[in-house]
Amino acid sequence: MVIIMLGAPGTGKGTVASILADKLNVPQVSTGDIFRKNIKEGTDLGNLASGYISKGKLVPDDVTINLVKDRIQENDVKEGIILDGFPRTIVQAKALDEILKNQGRKVDMAVNLTTPKEEIIERIVNRRVCSNQSCKTVYNILLNPPKEQGVCDKCGHELIQRKDDTLETVEKRIETYVKTAKPIIDFYNEKKVLQTEVVSKSINRLGADVANDLADFFNKREMI
């Protein structure tokens, strides 16, 4: 089972992927988390990625592709994987197809999340993330606040705001995504694996609702 998450920053890809991972018992792999870990540790990859991420730009394809290629060859994802934040370009999408083909696998579903721009900005600037890399629970201080301000409900670690979760950077990230998204969406639509879901408070449908519906779909499919 290979599921990929598509959508602009702030549409809830991480939330949906996390819930799906729990319900389907397959690992969630986020390239963003891997980049942030490397940036914090000051690795060569982290320093390279930091220069792009801090400006709201994409990390070069070759760096990202090699990172993901190594990750999906590990034992814990042989039975399934949820890719959050990859692919982000058509080059990455085609490379992923080749990587999976060599493993005798393919993308089962590309989940495309859409959210109004004003809601995306509101979510991201108010987003807080658990500083514990083993937890990484995401909160929104307006929509989904922790019980205690600044403290993770699950593990008690400090909640932090990502350096790239500023208004200026968010707008650049959305602009960058819009420019690169259409070819990827068309790519998976042609393969008939695209599933578009609207995530918006205006229709009272949030990431958890989407995740639960998708988990039910995959669980029923496994029973057939």
* 169 in any annotated domain: no
pLDDT of the residue at 223:
61
Active site residue 123: no
What range does the domain containing 53 cover?
2-115+180-223
Which of 36, 123, 127, 128 is an active site residue? 127
* 200 in any annotated domain: yes
pLDDT per position as a tens digit, 107-130:
999 999 999 999 999 888 999 999
pLDDT per position as a tens digit, 20-46:
999 999 999 888 777 777 788 887 877
- Asked whether the predicted pLDDT for residue 189 surpasses 90, the reply is yes
Task: Quote the Cα angle for 138-21-109, to 5°.
Answer: 110
Which of 88, 123, 128, 136 is an active site residue? 88
Domain of residue 218, CATH code: 3.40.50.300
pLDDT per position as a tens digit, 54-98:
787 778 898 888 888 878 888 999 989 999 989 988 999 999 999
| R_g of the chain computed on alpha carbons | 17
Q: What is the mean pLDDT of residues 11-16?
A: 88
Which of 13, 36, 123, 128 is an active site residue? 13
Active site residue 69: no
Active site residue 127: yes
* 165 in any annotated domain: no
- Asked whether the predicted pLDDT for residue 166 surpasses 70, the reply is yes
Count of structural domains within the chain:
1
* 53 in any annotated domain: yes
Distance in angstroms (rounded) separating the CA atoms of residues 207 and 15 = 6
pLDDT of the residue at 16:
92
Which of 23, 94, 162, 205 is an active site residue? 162
Active site residue 13: yes
